[in-house]
Amino acid sequence: MNESPLHFTDLSLLVHPKSIALIGASERPDSIGGRTLENLTVWSDFRGELHLVNPGYDNIHGRPCVPSIRDLDQAPDLAILAVRADAVLETLRDCGEHGVKFAIVFTSGFGETGETGKAIEARMREIATSTGMRIYGPNCPGVNNMNARLGLCFSPAWRIDQRPGPIGVATQGGGLGRAFIQGMDRGLGIGLWCSGGNEADLEVSDFIYYMAEAPDIKVIVTTLEGVRNGPRFMAAALHAARLGKPIVALKVGKSAYGAKAAQSHTAAIAGVAAINSAVFRELGIVEVDDIDELIDIASLLSRARPTGREQVAVYSFSGGTAALASDMVGLAGLPLAAFAAQTLQKLRDALPGYAAIDNPVDVTAEVLVNAEVSYATLKATASDPNTDIVLVPIPVEYGKTTALLGESLVKVQREVSTPIVPVWMSDRTGAGHRTIIEGGLMPMRAVGSAVLAVKRFIEYGRWRTRFNNAWTPLGATASHAASLHLSETETKALLAKVGIPVPDGRVARAADEAARIWRDVANGKAVMKIVSASITHKTDMGGVRLGIASESEAMAAFEEIQANGLRLCAAPDVEGVLVEPMLCAPFVEVVVGIHQDPVFGHVCTFGLGGVSIELFKDVSRRLLPRTAQSARQMIEETRCHALLDGFRGQRTYDIDALIDALLKLSDFVTRHADSIGELEINPLAVRPQGCGVVALDAVLCYRERKPGDSPLTPGSID
């Protein structure tokens, strides 16, 4: 990142404290302090020192209790605050000054209640800064460390929220976080849940960074309402990516309703959904839309790592279900495996003639009452050399049939590494369902859910193969300096300097000059356009004329365009009229834009020009800087690529030159990130293979440093 160093505190002593002070400990079993005490002493395996702090007790359940944190000889690693809102600030100050390393504040009644509460949170941050103690909360459910069986929380559900596993969960907002962790009841194994409440100090990025390094965590799950600090979030996500740990994210705020609701809930700005999603995709963060989807893909990633080249087998005892699942695999654009001959032979040997053996496998319900047959056929399917993942949709609870199938599933999965994904489609459960969960194969709940999870699993694998470990996003966030436009000719001069071809045009200040330029540059026909930094919509105001075919037409067009211009702005603001040769067909018009997102910094957008961007939203986006490989991917992601790449047997266009232009722009903006707010080439004409590209129109917005000063001229850049 270009910003100041992005520091992440090591949270080991928050998650695994050696000593804890519970401030506000209570003997009342239903109080926050009482419930936390019970969670720590009865429902946890905490072997360190536990100090109780409460001026109202000498001891609680026989444990000594002191009035203040200052009464402890040695500061504990962690203080847990279960105190009234009006005592929180003072208690935090005491803890920080006494040398406590981390404080968890359960107490609510701060930022979520309004401006006064937000001001108090600012003072909490001051305490954190001045003492070095990091604060978790306020208004939070605490830390649930399932892998260490340590409940730094007050929830009465802690005692049952204990199915350890390789998933780390970092959430904004406790409700959705808890919805996710209750996936335990379907077999999800969760090692750690951090939910920082109002995030006065520590935030979701800190937890992600910690989990990226935690040896017991293999998959990181997060729910977000807004990214508070884009560069820190990107740094944490990149850290996880470089360490090979997938992140799965549910981000609220994709629609106007959601953004408004999220803002009213956590005061987080949701950001632009399309940018968020593009950044997630680029960082390898698997984005999902709902809690059940989060559970499904997290479970799958916790069981296996994809290569991106997975082929799918479908195995069922219902023909209709096998057809449905195959249908969805096809609709998702995933490949069904072509079984090897030996697999087909094994299936043929084990099954009656009316069973379907070629992928999908339909063993039929009659067959499954025989445990050996279900084991043998599932084993053959999962061992097939061309099969990388096996979907087993189970349409119904069917007594002995599904009980035996469940046993076969668990048994075969113990013997083969190819992931087997059961789908328990029915609302009725039974022995088979229990066996599958207890055997560690979390069932998905619908065929569509399972196929979506498998698709995301494979796409994550594809992303991994392309991920460049050394790449770091520019990540500079927008300045608040005023933004000014360069004119088309100024922008084109800059583009020419950085190596992006522009038409060979000149600016006419009078009609006869327009005629002269026409004679010099026009290739049969010319384009004439008004030049003014204060006019952005040239066509709408009559500032553009196409197909100028003679000197006299050029003179007439000059008069007309200039008159139209002078109706809109003062004479000094009209630089003149640009006369350019008109580009001969064929070419494809694309749009390349770079703008500065307030959260994530400079983002590049590419898409087909004309009505396609607005009518069909056919665009792709990437952070800067770009590499040749990622520039190519960016083009390939759009449907526009088909058009450039010989659509319907027609000619191919110069994609290499387009990539080269994307890279030159990326490089140019990266080098001048402080000055360039926005740069758009619209259209950029992509000519046939070997003929290059031409920027037909372009505009650049820069940040003004001192009034009237353009920081960028062809002479000022290298």
Interaction residues for its own copies, span 178-237 (CB under 8 A): 178-179, 182-186, 188, 223, 225
Q: Which is nearer to its own copies, 166 or 177 (CB)?
A: 177
Q: Which is nearer to its own copies, 38 or 362 (CB)?
A: 362
| Binding of residue 262 to its own copies (CB under 8 A) | yes
Q: Report the alpha-carbon distance of residue 82 to residue 102 in Å, rounded.
A: 14
Residue 690's CB: how many other CB atoms inside 10 A?
10
Q: Which of 256, 482, 570, 628 binds its own copies (CB under 8 A)?
A: 256
Residue pair 359/390 in contact (Cβ under 8 Å)? The answer is no
Token match 């084991």: residue?
Answer: 375
Which window, 76-84, 404-412, 422-430, 505-513, contacts its own copies (CB under 8 A)? 422-430
Which window, 87-95, 256-264, 515-523, 549-557, contacts its own copies (CB under 8 A)? 256-264
Q: At what angle do helices 628-636 and 655-671 cross, to 10 degrees?
A: 120
| Binding of residue 248 to its own copies (CB under 8 A) | no
| Binding of residue 271 to its own copies (CB under 8 A) | no
314 to 353: interface string for its own copies, x by CB under 8 A: --xxxxxxxxx-xxxxxx----x----------------x
138 to 157: interface string for its own copies, x by CB under 8 A: ------------------xx
What own/partner pairs with CB < 8 Å and gap ≥ 24 does 97-101 have? 97/131, 98/69, 98/70, 98/72, 99/75, 100/21, 100/69, 100/75, 100/76, 100/133, 101/13, 101/14, 101/75, 101/77, 101/132, 101/133, 101/134
Binders of its own copies among 513-552, rule CB under 8 A?
Answer: 540
| Binding of residue 644 to its own copies (CB under 8 A) | no
Q: Which of 114, 132, 244, 385 binds its own copies (CB under 8 A)?
A: 114
| Binding of residue 612 to its own copies (CB under 8 A) | yes
Minimum distance of its own copies from residue 351's CB (angstroms)? 13
Q: Report the alpha-carbon distance of residue 87 to residue 121 in Å, rounded.
A: 13
| Binding of residue 397 to its own copies (CB under 8 A) | yes
| Binding of residue 447 to its own copies (CB under 8 A) | yes
Minimum distance of its own copies from residue 263's CB (angstroms)? 9
| Binding of residue 51 to its own copies (CB under 8 A) | no
71 to 100: interface string for its own copies, x by CB under 8 A: ------------------------------
| Binding of residue 24 to its own copies (CB under 8 A) | no
Q: Report the alpha-carbon distance of residue 716 to residue 496 in Å, rounded.
A: 13
Q: Which of 18, 48, 56, 616 binds its own copies (CB under 8 A)?
A: 616
Strand partners, 117: none
Q: Considering only CA atoms, which of 670, 671, 693 is closest in space to residue 683?
A: 693
Amino acid at 222: T
Q: Which of 341, 470, 571, 611 binds its own copies (CB under 8 A)?
A: 611
Minimum distance of its own copies from residue 693's CB (angstroms)? 19
Minimum distance of its own copies from residue 174's CB (angstroms)? 8
3-class DSSP state of 131? helix
Q: Which two tokens stand for residue 105?
A: 């504040």
Minimum distance of its own copies from residue 111's CB (angstroms)? 10
Rg (CA), the chain: 31
| Binding of residue 572 to its own copies (CB under 8 A) | no
Q: What is the longest distance spanned by two Cα atoms in the chain? A: 104
Binders of its own copies: how many residues, by CB under 8 A? 93
Residue 678's CB: how many other CB atoms inside 10 A?
17
| Binding of residue 682 to its own copies (CB under 8 A) | no
Strand 78-81: give its sheet, edge to edge: 59-60, 63-66, 49-53, 19-23, 78-81, 102-105, 134-136
